[in-house]
A and B are shown apart, each in its own frame.
Chain A
């Protein structure tokens, strides 16, 4: 057995074990932590498959951000978890659930095992046409030129998700600030961490964003890092969470999607198709869209974690 095969095998076994743990463990919080570890292992798996862009996104969004959201949900559910555990579903429900889940697993396994080999791939087409987009990273070329519509819809979905979370607010606190007021403690450890880490994190976030044109990286990964730095500032009490009624905040949130749609409209006017880029200006357009999306995504991802407004305006 070659060392590389042994490593892959160990990784696959760990992934399966972690997935089993996340499903079977009784405490919701433990399951979520299992899910986050699973995300980290999946990052390693993607890196082993040379999918560095996917690995970065999995680490930032799949394991990190989603894990954090689920952890928040687990904490909120803690008070009712015990009661929910007592109401165990009947035998028939369990058998039905097991059958449904089992058949989905079988279908997926069947689908994966019957994939044609070599798998149908658009990679040669991308490699042939990447010069037109003037970017060096094929992933970025696919996300922002060949399949730009998908990326636009992705950004819009995030805005909708944020509105969905905001709409969970009580009427009394609508328009107020999310989260609880955090007292700033200048001698506290978080104050120190925020002072040191935030400047470094902002530089690294900007670097990951900028390098996305030619190497693995991009706006989503960069924005996640920037959002994390913003959250650190808020948690340390150095900056309060924004009022969700703030017009400036809302403007920045929709700026990215609006610029994206604007560039798309320009395409249907100049280049003859929605989201088409005029000859020779592709790189400029892509950078403009990415640059506009970065602050919007940073705000949206941060606000998703901060949750629904909890405090009245003025408090």
Chain B
């Protein structure tokens, strides 16, 4: 059982790291703010999400698991807000 859980952790965290890599690559290579924001959200949503899902079975209490999930949700939320604000600032010409 614990072998299976460990396998799950390795798989999910590796996949999460892949999305972080892809997001970073996009951030560096994409031509404008909108596409770069699109790349960043991949790292936040999928990357961090998979890392959190992968780490869940390694926690020794429900309390710690809930904290991890809360961190993911908070990052999702702030990422969504910040992307909106950046995109709005660019569209209104306050930023380039």
Q: Which residues of A contact B (CB under 8 A)?
A: 189-190, 192-193, 196-197, 200
Contacts and interface: CB of A to CB of B under 8 A. Distances in A.
A200 B74 contact: yes
15 contacts: A189-B81, A189-B84, A189-B85, A189-B88, A190-B81, A190-B85, A192-B81, A193-B77, A193-B78, A193-B81, A196-B77, A197-B77, A197-B78, A197-B81, A200-B74
Interface of B: 74, 77-78, 81, 84-85, 88
B87 to A, nearest CB: 10
Contacts of A196: 77
B22 to A, nearest CB: 20
A207 to B, nearest CB: 10
A228 to B, nearest CB: 11
Contacts, number: 15
Counting chain A CB atoms within 10 Å of each CB, the highest count among B77, B81, B88 belongs to B81
Nearest to A196: B77
A189 B74 CA distance: 16
B63 to A, nearest CB: 12
Given A190-B85, A197-B77, A197-B81, 4 more contacts: A189-B84, A189-B85, A190-B81, A197-B78
A190 B88 CA distance: 12
A200 B77 CA distance: 12
Contacts of B85: 189-190
A190 B78 CA distance: 11
Contacts of A189: 81, 84-85, 88
Contacts of A190: 81, 85
Nearest to B81: A193
Contacts of A192: 81
B93 to A, nearest CB: 17
A279 to B, nearest CB: 35
B73 to A, nearest CB: 9
B92 to A, nearest CB: 12
Contacts of B81: 189-190, 192-193, 197
Contacts of A200: 74
A192 B78 CA distance: 11
Counting chain B CB atoms within 10 Å of each CB, the highest count among A193, A196, A197, A200 belongs to A193
A196 B77 CA distance: 9
Contacts of B88: 189
A197 B80 CA distance: 12
A196 B88 CA distance: 20
A47 B39 CA distance: 28
A193 B82 CA distance: 10
Contacts of B78: 193, 197
Contacts of A197: 77-78, 81
Contacts of A193: 77-78, 81
B96 to A, nearest CB: 14
Contacts of B84: 189
